[in-house]
Structure formats: structure tokens, C-alpha cells
Amino acid sequence: MIDFELTENQIAVRDMARDVTEKVIKPTIQEYDRAHKPHPDLLPAMAKANLLGFCIPEKYGGLGTDYISLGLACEELEYGDTSARVVLSVHIGLYALPVLTWANEEQKQKYLVPIARGEKIGSFGLTEPAAGSDAVGIQTTAVKGGNDWILNGEKMWISLADLADYFLIFAWTDLDKKAKRDHSGLSAFIVEREWQGVSTGKIPGKLGVRAGNTGFIAMQDVRVPGENLVYEEGQGFKVAMFCLDQGRYTVAAGSCGLIKACRDASVEYAKQRETFQKPIADHQLVKQMIANMEAGYEYSSYLWMKAGWLKNQGMRSTKATSLAKWIACREAEKAAADAVQVFGAYGFSDEYPVERFYRNSKGASIYEGTREIHTLMQADYALGYRVDKQLERDLPKTDQ
């Protein structure tokens, strides 16, 4: 039975993330959002607070926290700004947890320990210019070259592209299967930024998450040592889908932070702003919008916490995570739109944060599986067309 009472460890982790949000993110995030630049103090502050080692066992340099703690941290960070939560989504959800689960011991010592300590930053490269939801549509290839693999291709919409040290990259290692769109021809590799042939760049003009680094990774004849193949050749699709499960979980939890930020900003403003000789908080339709934010936060929180509980128990959580991601992102969009409405004309200006919340809310309904993908997934579960089988490997069970 799910217990929604937080443990002392979970509360401590939540407060660590809240401290970073209140002291580092909120005071200055507006200027970095306006400038379309990452907050220069964010990664150092997160590393100092040990936020970059979530869910990684202590023997690999991490905090050994449970998965609900990760969700709580994501919620607190996105309360300040989506760009802060994205760091945990990518560094932990899309890179560190997959390496923990699928990499061999030698790879963990080399490519996980410095990540858990916050000495290095990890990222994830699946999406390409012509391949998003259609993962087998990627064009990146890896061809044998002696004991190495030669990678060629380009990844697009990569968070932390210009900041990460290591990338978990997916490529076709069987070109015949590529032609047939047979995903058993995909493999996963760990690629280092400093290798010859690797280059990155920023994507300009984003609608939201402007204080987050989003870009591309170009790989031209990049020589990857054979020992950097993750798990087994031809098993990359399994690894990629596992990655997305973890990323979606963090996005769902983070979206609840955005809903809460919209609610709190709307409540404060509605009590101060007067129309027709009374605070707008006394108008029924304003109350309705705030009530919807409260309801959206409550049931979205339960959904991501259920997914986190399943992860803690060592149980498959793909269905629960998909539902949590879909609903929380949907409610975040609604909350942000209503928050702008509560603020009226001022909500249309970046004088107040709700304008930023509105822009940031849109991205989450696209990345880590569009809302349409998750709608179809949930329909297929209900119809019996989709059933989750036990994975060859899954997240280690926690005792917290």
C-alpha cells in the first residue's frame, strides 16, 4: 500500500532542493531567462548541495536516495524555473540511472562516479532533426573500425548540449536492420565531449526554458572505443526506452512544481489586486481558476508519487510514469494559462513570473514523449493492446 507520508530523509532532500531554489534560482532567474543564457551559478550550487548524485548508490559516489526523493527535488527546482529541473531530468534521469542500470562495472567506475560526485555532467542523445517520437527514424550510424566504432550523425534538441562532459548516444550498428526499421539494430554508446569529431552548438530562439542550454551534437567520424558500447550490441532500443521512463518521471514531478508556482503566484496577486472595489480573489471565476490549479496539483502529485513508489519497490512503472507525465504536463499548461488570465494585462508581461511559467509549460507536452504519444499509450493499456513485461534489467529497489 502506498504511504504518502514523507520520511525524514525525503524531507531533508526536498529542503535541500528548496534551498537552492530560494537562494540561487528565484532571485536572478528573470535576467537569465531574458538573456537566453543558463544561470552560471546553478550547476555549482547543485553540485555543492549534492543534488547531482540522486539515486546513485554511495559506493559510486552518490547520495543513495530513493526515487521519490528525486521527484521531490524536481518539483522544488521547477518551482523556481524549468531549466533547473531539466538538469536533474537529463543528468540523473536520462544519463546516470541508465548507466547505473545497463553499464558494466568498468564503465560505472569511469563514467558514473564523477557524475554522481558532481564533477562531470551527463546528457542524452536520441532525438535528431528528423526523428523525435519515431525513435527508429534516427540516422546516426556506428560502423566497426578495428576495435572501435566510427560514429557519424547529428542529435538535435539536446539539453545540456554545451555543458555536458559525457553523452549517452544511440546509433545504428546494423545497417541492414536500419533499412528495415528493425530496432534490434540500434546500440548505445558513451561519448566524451573532448573526442575528435564531436562538436555542439546552441539552438536559438526558443519559446520557453530560455535559461536552459538546448542544442545539437554533431559527430563526424568520431572514434569510440569498443569498451564504450553500453550493455550489448543491438540492445540500444531497450536502453533508450528505459531512459525515457526515467526522464518522463522527472518531468511529471517537475510539472507539479510549475503548477504550484502558478497557484502561489495567483493566490498572492489575487489577494492584492482590486477590481470593482474588492480583491479579485473574491470573484467567483478567479476562485474557479485557482481551485483548478489546486486540484491539478493534488492529483498530478499522487500520480507521480505512485510511479515513484513503484520504482522504490523495484516494480515496472512504465504505465504509471506515462500517465503521470501526460496528466501533470496537461495540468501545468492549464495552470499557467489560467495564471496569466488571473494577472490580466500584467500576465502578458515579464514583470511577473507567470509569463515565463506559461512559455515553459509548453515544452513538457512535447519532450519525453508528446501528449499524443502518451494518450495512445494509455488507450492501448486500457484496450489490452499493450502489456508491460518484466525488463531484463530495472532500477535497483530502494529501502527508503
Helices 284-312 and 318-343: crossing angle in degrees, nearest 10, is: 160
Active site amino acids:
368
Domains 122-235 and 238-383 share a fold: no
C-alpha 243/C-alpha 238 separation (Å) is 9
Which ranges of the chain does DSSP label H, i.e. alpha helix?
8-20, 29-35, 42-48, 67-80, 82-88, 97-102, 105-111, 113-116, 175-180, 236-272, 284-312, 318-343, 354-363, 371-383
Cα(140)–Cα(153) distance, integer angstroms: 4
The reported pLDDT for the residue numbered 399 is 62
Provide the CATH number for the domain formed by 122-235 in this structure: 2.40.110.10
So where are the chain's domains? Answer: 8-116, 122-235, 238-383
Q: What are phi and psi of 26, to 5 degrees?
A: -60, -40
Domain 8-116 of CATH type 1.10.540.10: yes
The set of cell numbers assigned to 324 is 503521470
Q: What's the whole-model pTM score?
A: 0.96
Q: What is the pLDDT of residues 157-203, one digit of tens each?
A: 999 999 999 999 999 999 999 999 999 999 999 999 999 999 999 99
Mean pLDDT, the chain cut into blocks of 10 residues (400 residues total): 86 96 96 96 95 94 95 98 97 98 97 97 96 93 97 98 98 96 97 98 96 98 98 96 96 98 98 94 97 98 96 94 98 98 96 97 95 97 94 79
Query: Which fold is adopted by the domain 238-383?
Result: Butyryl-CoA Dehydrogenase, subunit A; domain 3 (1.20.140)
